[in-house]
Structure 1
Amino acid sequence: MAHARTEDTASASQGKEALFWKKPRIVAIPVCNEEDHIVACLLALAAQTSLPDRVVLWINNTTDATCHRVLSVAHRLPFELETVTACYPSAIASAGQARRDAMDHASRTASPDAILLTTDADSEVASDWIDSILAAFIQYPVEAVFGRVLLLPEEYRKIPLHLHEDEQSERAYGALLEQIGLLLSPEPHDPWPRHLEHSGASIAVTHAAWRRVGGIPDVPSGEDRAFARALRQNGIAVRHAPQVQVYVSARLQGRARGGMAETLARRLIAQDEYIDDAFEPVSRRLLRIRRELAYWQSQSSFLDIPYPDFPVVCIRRKELPQHHERALRVLKRLRQMNRRSPENFPIETAGQYDIPPPVLTGPEPSVFHGRPG
């Protein structure tokens, strides 16, 4: 009997794998004045071990030679390429609006079983980007997959060492918060190791989940994080897959207000007083976890309790070491209390995933939180 159950489980797993490999894959990319990057972006998609079926370029408010560059390489691409041009009034022109419209356009002609993907026009996805995304969908019961954003090795050298060190410190603290959360509220669909990012440079979502949340939220910037929040608030399972990777430039003039380029340019002049607001005090994280657990329990009991919403509480950079130590103490205490937790559950930083694929050379790449600008 046990042998029969094992065979049934294996058969179901193989069936799910075959199903996902057959799903249409559509990549939507917002593009604005990307003559220096768009060819590399498209060639990276063309080099995928599993190709996209269609790529939609939403070319908006563009005055440079982007369209010419696209035409120069279009005949070499092994997938259907659709280009759409748009010009937004200055009052509403934004990276968030462009991504929302690009993905909405791609979704209109997509089949109900399609997977919608998005990246940035200055990005170069890893050659196994789509393969790794599909592997995450197959391995875990999720409807969305967020990938990691790394700097191209040659771009890494452009950034002062102290900024890389500050970033490492932020991510080390963030990793502790994630592990605390997983001990208090386990997520089998998104276990450790997982990364900490919600970047528009690497999002994949099922068409059904996309429709359920109404697409990308209508915000001028930070639409990637807003989309992640919308997924969570609607109970849609997400995998933060460290194997899904995309490489970006370290440019200082970006397309998104509040994006990576703007953040980097500002920090080159003077480091921010506060760390990324995604990394809240551990006391706030504990409260958030309790409130979210209460919310989901109320949903199963048909109680009308609103989804918990908290004002942002930021940490001063100079106080980060104290917050790190506090989080470390909480994590160790939770381990002592949770006998079910395996002894080898590691206290790790996110830096363990900062090793680029073997084909790349150069120093360890870095990550800047938020969507590349």
Structure 2
Amino acid sequence: MSVDVVVVVPARDEQDGIARTLHGVCASLDLAVEQGLVGRCALEVVAHRCADLTAVRAGGVLGRRRDARVTRDESSVTVGQVRDSGVRRGLARLDGDPGRTWVLSTDADTEVGTGWVGRILQSARAVDAAAVVGVTTLDRWRGSAEASAAYDRLLREKTDGDTHQHVYGANLAVRADAYLDVGGFPHAVHGEDQALVDALEARGHRLLRTTGVSVVTSGRLMGRAAGGLADRLAGLEPSAGVA
């Protein structure tokens, strides 16, 4: 039986990569619809305080898709607020049963792959999970050899077979009733993804932390959001004073 899906993609000055991200998201949604896994979908791209052509290029990719919308957001202060506003706009557009609607989150510097949506939904269904916490791999390493070794250690420490303890906003899915139950993404400056997962866990919602749902994201050391993955990678450099 199919479900409804909202996909939210926050973007800030991502004109060079937004097309690649959206082509992947659209292909993944279309395949899931063809497979009978998804009935209706709403793709929300949130162009947050962009000083470049991110919104224009996103609109060019999405064209006449009736299930997609690009919103220029000049008022949100935090990335948590950007994600949450996109989710709530998507849910309002679908106006369906929250228990049969999924919220998927990714980023504008990420490639999700054609099977992304389907893998999330099938994995969740197999264990009756209310959230799927996936992983990311980096497109390439841009830092030092020392930082690379530190990153590899971090991955090993937080990964046990096919499960893990990482949280990435670029690869996170939550059933809408569980999302609303905990208040959604908190309007935090950073760490909104971890805070959402922590809140879900605290409320007793079943989480699936799986390495079987993976995306490819940028390994850049200078990101758009403070406290994001880029800052974490930069913090591993010896010059940052992190062992």
**TM-score by shorter chain over 0.5:** yes
- After TM superposition, the structure 1 stretch with the greater mean CA deviation from structure 2, 229-238 or 264-273, is 264-273
| Aligned 8 A contact 1:221 1:258 in 2 | yes
Structure 2 counterpart of 1:99, which letter?
R
User: 2:99 matched to 1:109?
Assistant: no
Question: Where does residue 235 of structure 1 map in the other structure?
Answer: 204
Structure 2 counterpart of 1:224, which letter?
D
Secondary structure at the counterpart of residue 158 of structure 2 = helix
Q: Distance in 1 between matches of 2:60 and 2:16?
A: 13
Deviation per residue, 1:214-252 (Å, 9 max, x gap): 111221110000001100110001101211111111223
Q: Distance in 2 between matches of 1:166 and 1:266?
A: 10
Question: Where does residue 55 of structure 2 map in the other structure?
Answer: 67
Question: Where does residue 175 of structure 2 map in the other structure?
Answer: 206
Picking from 90, 94, 105, the partner of 2:78 is 94
Question: Where does residue 150 of structure 2 map in the other structure?
Answer: 166
Q: Report which of the two has the higher share of strand.
A: 2
| Rg larger in structure | 1
Picking from 250, 257, 269, the partner of 2:219 is 250
| Aligned 8 A contact 2:79 2:188 in 1 | no
User: 2:54 matched to 1:54?
Assistant: no
Structure 2 counterpart of 1:128, which letter?
G
Question: Where does residue 30 of structure 1 map in the other structure?
Answer: 10
- After TM superposition, the structure 1 stretch with the greater mean CA deviation from structure 2, 163-172 or 58-67, is 163-172
| Aligned 8 A contact 2:191 2:227 in 1 | yes
User: 2:115 matched to 1:128?
Assistant: yes
Q: How many residue pairs are counted as aligned between the two chains? A: 232
Question: Where does residue 294 of structure 1 map in the other structure?
Answer: none
Structure 1 counterpart of 2:71, which letter?
V
Displacement of 1:142 after TM fit? 0.9
The sequence identity of aligned pairs, in percent, is 25
Displacement of 1:269 after TM fit? 6.0
Q: How does 1:216-227 map to 2 (within 5 A)?
A: 216-227=185-196
Q: Distance in 1 between matches of 2:26 and 2:73?
A: 25
Q: RMSD of the alignment, in Å?
A: 2.0
List alignment gaps of at least 5 residues for structure 1: 1-18, 179-191, 274-316, 318-373
List alignment gaps of at least 5 residues for structure 2: none
| Aligned 8 A contact 2:131 2:206 in 1 | yes
Secondary structure at the counterpart of residue 47 of structure 1 = helix
Q: Distance in 1 between matches of 2:199 and 2:164?
A: 19
